[in-house]
Structures are given as C-alpha cells and as structure tokens.
C-alpha cells in the first residue's frame, strides 16, 4: 500500500498523515492492548470459539444422518450461536465495545459466516462424519487468523501422541511464534486447568478441551481409542500486548 501525500501539504499536516497510515498498514499501536485487557480478550475469544463449535456439535447427529437440511442455514446457525453465547456470557452478543473488542467480534462473526456459508452444502447433504466440529473449528480459526495477524490468533491443537491430523500440531499451527515451546509443553502435559502465560510482547491463553461422546466415536473410526471426558486437546489464544 503506497502512501501518497499532496505536494501542497506542509510538514505540519503530513506528519499526522504518515503516522496514521503506518498504524493502519502495520496493524498498529491501537491494535495492541495492555496485559489486563489482553487477558479479558483471550477469555472472550475462547468463549466465542467454544460456543460456535458447540453449535456444530449439536447438529452432528443430523449431519451424520443426512437430515440437517434447513438447520444448516448460516443465519439459523449464527442465531443459535448468539443464543448460546448469551447464556454462557450472561449478556447478549454484540459487536459494540471498545476498539479492540469491536474489531475482534466483527472479525469473528465474519469468519463464522464465511465458514458456515462455504460448508452449508456439505452439512445439508450430510453423511457419516461429513462435517465434524474439529474440522469446523480449524476452518473458523484459519479465517479469523488471516484477518487478525499481529493482534490476536487462535489455535486448536492436541498432544503429539494423539494427533489425528499432523497439520494441527502446535509446531505447525503456531509456526513462527515465540510461544511455541511454552504451548508445546502445556499441550503435551495436558493440564485440565486453564492458564495464561506472558512472554515479551505476547500473552498465551491455554484452555483445555474434554472429549465428548461424538468425538470419541469419530476418533474410534479413525483408529484412536479414547474415553469420554478425557483430555481432548486445547484451544490456544495468542494476544499481542504492549
């Protein structure tokens, strides 16, 4: 993106323009938050991803049976997500808030709608494991992350010994992040308590996930023997802080 300043502009007017343009291009100072705000944002994002994924989980039996039909319409699924979010958060879903919260919610909702729209035909057609929560979550995070680089990123992963898809390993999903060693240790040890770690200009949030009955059944069809309620990987959130 080239920055063009009219020749008639004085240094007095050009300097603010340059600063503003650089902020927009770089992802900016305004995109970064202090640690307390980053901790709130990480928890909020984990809730958003969890409730959206639960919507697809609740539709799993219908998808597997090829009966999702009208239930697989993006607008209906987003409404279900907003209802779940309101119950979990104790407040209605809203894109309004401070600058960081507004950007986060708008980017998330956009990624959610794009993901649901792309995969609506697959959900409507259905079939055994045609569209599972883990795949939905990976697609959702991929889209969200593309729009939020240098601000906040989300990763769903599992300990190396139980990975079904190697693409979801910590070293792959977090490639280039200075938090890879800390994230790898947390995920492989699999503690069942959520935690957050600050390292330099990054905050890492770790939220463990538990295996549901549908997950265990799906994984068994892929040769993985697990138990319902056992450790099912983690949702990691990386937030840039100042």
For 149-179, the pLDDT digits (tens) are 999 999 999 998 888 888 899 999 999 999 9
Look up residue 29 and give its DSSP letter. Answer: S
Other Cβ atoms within 10 Å of 239 Cβ, number: 28
Contacts of 140-146 spanning 24+ positions with Cβ under 8 A: 140/49, 140/52, 140/53, 140/111, 140/112, 140/115, 141/49, 141/111, 143/110, 143/111, 143/114, 143/115, 144/107, 144/108, 144/111
**pLDDT > 90 fraction of the chain, expressed in percent and rounded:** 69
Here the tokens at position 46 are 């984990």
Does pLDDT of 17 surpass 50?
no
Of 84 and 16, the structure prediction assigns the larger pLDDT to: 84
Quick one: pLDDT band at residue 3, thresholds 50, 70, 90?
very low
pLDDT at 31: 59
Q: Give the closest residue to 159 by CA, choosing from 213, 228, 215, 230.
A: 230
What does the pLDDT average to over 72-99?
A: 94
Q: List Cβ neighbours of 41 (8 Å cut-off, separation of 6 or more).
A: 33, 100, 101, 104, 152, 239
Q: In whole angstroms, what is the distance from residue 36 CA to residue 116 CA?
A: 32
Q: Give the closest residue to 55 by CA, choosing from 69, 27, 76, 35.
A: 76
Q: Give the closest residue to 236 by CA, choosing from 136, 147, 158, 139.
A: 158
Strand partners for 21: none
pLDDT at 98: 87
Q: Give me the chain's average pLDDT, please.
A: 86
Question: Could you report the per-residue pLDDT of 179-198, keeping only the tens digit for each?
Answer: 999 999 999 998 889 999 99
């Amino acid at each position: 993106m080239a920055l063009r300043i009219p020749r008639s502009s004085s240094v007095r007017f050009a300097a603010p323009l340059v600063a503003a343009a650089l902020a927009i291009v770089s992802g900016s100072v305004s995109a970064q938050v202090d640690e307390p705000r980053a901790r709130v944002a990480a928890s909020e994002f984990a809730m958003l991803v969890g409730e959206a994924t639960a919507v697809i989980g609740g539709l799993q039996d219908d998808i597997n049976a090829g009966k999702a039909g009208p239930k697989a319409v993006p607008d209906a699924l987003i409404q279900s997500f907003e209802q779940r979010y309101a119950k979990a958060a104790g407040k209605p879903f809203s894109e309004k808030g401070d600058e960081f919260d507004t950007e986060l919610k708008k980017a998330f909702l956009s990624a959610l709608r794009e993901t649901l729209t792309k995969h609506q035909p697959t959900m409507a057609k259905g079939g055994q494991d045609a569209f599972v929560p883990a795949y939905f979550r990976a697609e959702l995070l991929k889209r969200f992350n593309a729009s939020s680089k240098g601000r906040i990123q989300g990763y769903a992963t599992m300990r190396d010994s139980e990975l079904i898809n190697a693409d979801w390993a910590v070293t792959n999903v977090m490639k280039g992040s200075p938090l890879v060693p800390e994230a790898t240790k947390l995920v492989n040890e699999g503690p069942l308590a959520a935690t957050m770690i600050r390292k330099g200009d990054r905050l890492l949030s770790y939220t463990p996930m538990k295996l549901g009955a549908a997950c265990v059944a799906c994984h068994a069809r892929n040769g993985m023997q697990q138990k319902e309620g056992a450790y099912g990987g983690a949702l990691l959130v990386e937030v840039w802080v100042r």
